[in-house]
Amino acid sequence: MSNIPPSQPILTADQLRQAAADETRLRYLLMDLANRLPDVISLGQGDPDLDTPPHVIAAAQDAIRNGRADIPAPPEGLPELREAIACKLQRDNHIPAEADNLLVTNGSQEALYLVVQGLLDPGDEILVPDPRYSGYDQAIQQAGGKVVFLPTMPEHDFELQPQVVAESATAHAKVLLLITPGNPTASIISPTNLRAIANIARERGLIVISDEIYEKHIYPPGEHLSIASLSGMFERTVTINGFSKSYAMTGWRVGYVAAPSEFIRVLTTLKRSVSRRTTTVSQYAALAALNGPQDFLEGYHAIYSRRRAILLNGLRQLGFYCAEPLGAFFIFVNAAATGMPALELCYRLLNEGHVLIFPGDSFGEKWTDWLRVSYLQDESALQEALARIARVLKRKEV
């Protein structure tokens, strides 16, 4: 598609603005709109476009063929998968987890939902970096928790600063949420800052939820450190991770929680109430992902690196300011130079350019000049998306 004429909007800008009060709903409304338009290039969602590795699929097929997929797994997860995850955490993350420190969940989304329910009582404060992944909001709201935002700044490439944590961690604060690498900002908390934050957590008695779902997606000079590996932190840290992002397995819905066993027992009872167990066949797929060859991860990483460079350079050439993305597969982009609020820009990009991008509004009310752009498309699609963005911006100038 070389040039797209402006189409009749299916959704009005006002409807979109009203939806902006609920960040998650705003994203889904944009996705819904995108689904109704032809030939949309999505730079919105966080679903890796790469295929699940063949040996993982083969293991699942094998489990189906021999009937193992039909046997319900224990609520806490297949024992062999819990063992394999424990080995991975010890080897890769230096987290002293054993099998009984693990709960397998239906994706990391269920993990975070259960963890929040297991930790927060009504009125408890949870410290959340801003901008944030709003997928936590409903879980916190249902637990009756009170969110205290920790501001992160462009001048630090949105890296959470220990001083901000120290200033916000009052006596009412119970839980500190860390997402590193971060969504939507693609920031990473450096090992130095993470150690300082760990000290604050110990001093103030904070429990840490460490969401590390993007741990395999790190770009120089970024470096990933699991806070639970630091001295005295395992017993106060709940680590959340999963297979969706690292192994391109979003459809399989397998995540996990690592924490002291007494908390895992609580989470297991909560899980019985919510979903009872995790799909058996998906757990065999996850087991193969961990136990099988890992060299393909380098190939995946190389692909993402090239895409990241294309998009980063392209956006900067178009005049956008981009925070340095050190992790995940997003770029957090300042769109103020366009003279349009991000929501309006995203609306125009979608309607006129058929490019889906999420506005910063969908990650916190302050971020109305920002965009989250993902690079989960092949290189030619990214080039085409950049060309379409350029055309929409030019049309606006005219």
> Does the protein bind another protein through residue 8 (CB under 8 A)?
no
Q: What CA–CA distance (Å, rounded) separates 47 from 213?
A: 12
CB of 262 to another protein, least distance (A): 4
> Does the protein bind another protein through residue 278 (CB under 8 A)?
yes
Residue closer to another protein by CB (options 269, 317) is 269
Q: What CA–CA distance (Å, rounded) separates 25 from 340?
A: 21
Name which position in 24, 168, 291, 305 contacts another protein (CB under 8 A). 24
Q: Which of 102, 104, 97 is closest to 77 using CA atoms?
A: 104
CB of 244 to another protein, least distance (A): 9
> Does the protein bind another protein through residue 71 (CB under 8 A)?
yes
Question: How many Cα atoms occupy the beta-carbon half-sphere of 118 within 13 Å?
Answer: 27
CB of 110 to another protein, least distance (A): 5
Residue closer to another protein by CB (options 196, 270) is 270
> Does the protein bind another protein through residue 256 (CB under 8 A)?
no
> Does the protein bind another protein through residue 260 (CB under 8 A)?
yes
CB of 370 to another protein, least distance (A): 23
> Does the protein bind another protein through residue 238 (CB under 8 A)?
yes
> Does the protein bind another protein through residue 167 (CB under 8 A)?
no
Rg of the chain, C-alpha, whole Å: 21
> Does the protein bind another protein through residue 94 (CB under 8 A)?
no
> Does the protein bind another protein through residue 101 (CB under 8 A)?
no
> Does the protein bind another protein through residue 259 (CB under 8 A)?
yes
Count the residues of the shown chain that bind another protein, applying the rule CB under 8 A: 72
Residue closer to another protein by CB (options 104, 194) is 104
CB of 381 to another protein, least distance (A): 16
Name which position in 169, 179, 198, 249 contacts another protein (CB under 8 A). 249
CB of 138 to another protein, least distance (A): 4
Q: Which residues 189-208 are close enough to bind another protein by CB under 8 A?
A: 205, 207
Name which position in 187, 193, 229, 280 contacts another protein (CB under 8 A). 280
Name which position in 2, 38, 65, 397 contacts another protein (CB under 8 A). 65
Binding window for another protein (CB under 8 A); candidates: 12-20, 87-95, 184-192, 251-259: 251-259
Name which position in 34, 43, 82, 110 contacts another protein (CB under 8 A). 110
Binding window for another protein (CB under 8 A); candidates: 218-226, 234-242, 330-338, 346-354: 234-242
Q: What CA–CA distance (Å, rounded) separates 236 from 102?
A: 15
> Does the protein bind another protein through residue 383 (CB under 8 A)?
no
CB of 118 to another protein, least distance (A): 4
Q: What CA–CA distance (Å, rounded) separates 84 from 88?
A: 6
> Does the protein bind another protein through residue 377 (CB under 8 A)?
no
CB of 248 to another protein, least distance (A): 6
Place of tokens 């909560």: 270
> Does the protein bind another protein through residue 251 (CB under 8 A)?
yes
CB of 298 to another protein, least distance (A): 20
Name which position in 81, 194, 248, 258 contacts another protein (CB under 8 A). 248
Using alpha carbons, list the distances in angstroms from residue 303 to 40, 187, 277, 297, 306.
21, 20, 34, 10, 5
Q: Which residues 119-158 are close enough to bind another protein by CB under 8 A?
A: 119-121, 124, 135, 137-139, 142-143
Give me the sign of the Cα torsion angle 41, 43, 46, 52: positive
Name which position in 23, 43, 89, 107 contacts another protein (CB under 8 A). 107
